[in-house]
Amino acid sequence: MNRIKKAFTNRWLLLLTAGVLFWAKTILAYYVDFSLGVEGSIQTFILWINPLATTLLLFGVFLYVKKFKPALVVLFLMDLLNTVILYLNVIFYREFTDFVTIKSVLGFSKVSQGISGSSFALMKVHDLFYWLDLLVFLGILIYIFAKRKEIISKPVKKTFAVAVSCLAVLTFSVNLSLSEANRPQLLQRTFDRSYIVKYLGLDAFTIYDGIKTEQTNSVRAHASSNGLTDILKYTKSHYAAPDPTKFGIAKGRNIIVIHLESFQQFLINMKVDGQEVTPFLNSLENDNQQTLAFDNFFHEVGQGKTSDAENMLETGTFGLPQGSLFTQLGNDNTFQGAPAILNQQAGYTSAVFHGNVGSFWNRDHVYKNLGYQNFFDRSYFNEADENLGYGILDKEMLKETVGHLEHLQQPFYSKFLTVTNHTPYLTDDQNFNFPALKTGNSTVDDYVRTAHYLDESLRQFFDYLKASGLYQNSIFMIYGDHFGISDSNNQDLAKALGKDPATWDKFDDAQMQRVPLMFHIPGYTNGGLQHQYGGEIDVLPTLLHLMGIDSKQYIQFGTDLFSPQHDQTVAFRNGDFVSPTYTELSGETYDNKTGEKVDPKALNIAPEIDKEQKQVKQALSLSDKLNQENLLRFYTPAGFTPVDPKKYDYHDLDQKNEAIEKQKGQNSTSLYSKNGNQTTIGLYPALH
């Protein structure tokens, strides 16, 4: 009996017991209730150690309390607090496949509307394990406090308590270092909330989210409509009127946007062992009648990469200087993006199709703020589909979209996010039958294999679109979102491009940032390859003008690529730029024809370079101000209704779209309805 009493009063044993039990609960949640996508032994090790640091730090607070009973209460409260946070995330994740943020807590009424009716249904039998240790702990507390005598327990020396806190900090430092090594720029880019939980744990995520929320709120609290003055002045003065010969040439057509993941321009018309890497995309780009393609089009992404590209194409504003706008600001920002504009101006239905989880890049929240009515993420696709890297294989994803696409009311604005051509370019012999390059760098060598697979996927998708009748009445916007081969691998790539790796420099790196952009319009006869310079910031005004919608009233930082007044200076997110004549990199000027560094003063072009540099920095700065202070909440263009994200719910989308078909009856414009209420799935070619 005395041994049991001593055990109950041994502070080290209490800390160890409470800590181990909470660690076990956390691991249970990681594996049973959360889907964190753990891959390999390193990520598994990180996952197993990430609860230790914060548990040790928080639970260790009770070591500083001298009297035993108050110390025990502190330990219990710390355990209770952490368990509540853990369990709230478990319930929240079961309903929303996401983690609780500070904003979702502050907006509890909105969250409770989504889960209150089903909260009991969300509970599971094994949930008892999350609370069992606390029930025992509470029983011990009641027993101890029922005894009026003070229980003797030797307090821990302060130096030992401090040592425990230092050990917790050291453990977190090791955890963070391992995480950064496995997932570089984890906290700067914030791909997905689940990544932070997977690498650093729930407590660290909650603290990180709280800091980010406070930073954002602090900036926005001081914002006012006065901040729009310089922004409106800039965008109005840089507006480029549409080319009358291009304005409205695709009016009323369905818009099908094909997002080519990590796809660079050099892949177009490239051959390996005499075989074209992308024969189908080549056929589109080289169609001088039906396609308007660009060979001097650059991505302009920063750390947000794919999400930055999406943001520019959807909103006409730049990504952030650090991190991803989607993940940092996307939950609350006011947008005036393509889905809402097209819906309000021309009655378009909007949809995104993506073979990865909806929370990646925070899309499940951002798309609602953009006004997307439909978002078909990984949950809408067959669970048995093969998954490589960042989602299911493109061939399977595109084929399965048909069952959803055919129920959308026309005209529709649809975006297809491909993922197979994504670093590290994972391949197998079953799905990837194209020869690899032979540079000795596996990233470079396999890049052409996954690009060829993507090309085959698109050919099969287009075969279906032609067979179903959608092709002829659509405009296709096809773009590469960002580089696939990073600068550090370009010297190895140089060999495959027939260039000398020894002379490769940062000018060559900059020129490699070209990505494809094509507008393919079936039946159009005045296409051809366009040589003007442009970037992703220019896409939205260009698309709107092709659809017959003037972009003048919207705040957009790009200009119509076809306009005679189009600004051909392309801003990179770091402040560098490229123009038809010169490239400016870190304060050094290069001649585009020779690739040689030049002295602007000696060539009497210093004023021109300075003017372009000033404009680039101004555009980036004003865009950052607009987004960081959420200034669009103070500006509503004439005829535009601000987006209400609460209108959108991405559950049961097929049932909702089928209900719309039934409601409209003969007036339904969906492909399914137009096909005599018959599915077109059988028209899709067999995958091979």
Catalytic positions, written as ranges: 306
Residue 63: Cβ within 10 Å count: 24
CA distance 368 to 411: 20
Residues paired with 276 in a beta bridge: 271
Residue type, 309: A
CA distance 562 to 486: 30
The answer to whether 482 is annotated as binding is yes
Angle between helices 363-370 and 305-315 (to 10 degrees): 10
Question: Tokens 């660290």 map to which residue?
Answer: 204
When computed from its CA atoms, the radius of gyration of the chain, rounded to whole angstroms, is: 28
What is the DSSP secondary-structure string of 560-607? -TTSTT---PEEPTTS-EE-SSEEEETTEEEETTT--EE-TTTTT-HH
> Where are any strands of DSSP class E within 437-592?
474-480, 517-520, 528-530, 534-535, 570-571, 577-578, 582-585, 588-591
Residue type, 467: A
Residue 374, classed as helix, strand or coil, is strand
Residue 229 has φ and ψ, to the nearest 5°, of -55, -55
CA distance 529 to 295: 7
CA distance 191 to 645: 22
Cβ partners under 8 Å of residue 586, min gap 6: 506, 576
The answer to whether 404 is annotated as binding is no
The answer to whether 422 is annotated as binding is yes
* Residue 504 tokens, joined: 């490769």
In 3D space, the residue among 345, 493, 498, 352 whose CA is nearest the CA of residue 418 turns out to be: 352
Residue 337, classed as helix, strand or coil, is coil
CA distance 571 to 89: 41
The answer to whether 429 is annotated as binding is no
The answer to whether 569 is annotated as binding is no
Residue 438 has φ and ψ, to the nearest 5°, of -125, 50
* Residue 462 tokens, joined: 């287009």
* Residue 228 tokens, joined: 């729009």
In 3D space, the residue among 242, 246, 258, 243 whose CA is nearest the CA of residue 516 turns out to be: 258
In 3D space, the residue among 363, 371, 356, 361 whose CA is nearest the CA of residue 324 turns out to be: 361
CA distance 613 to 575: 8
CA distance 520 to 286: 11
Q: Where are the alpha helices (DSSP H) in 29-126?
A: 40-59, 68-96, 102-106, 108-115, 119-122
Query: Which residues are documented as binding site for substrate?
Result: 422
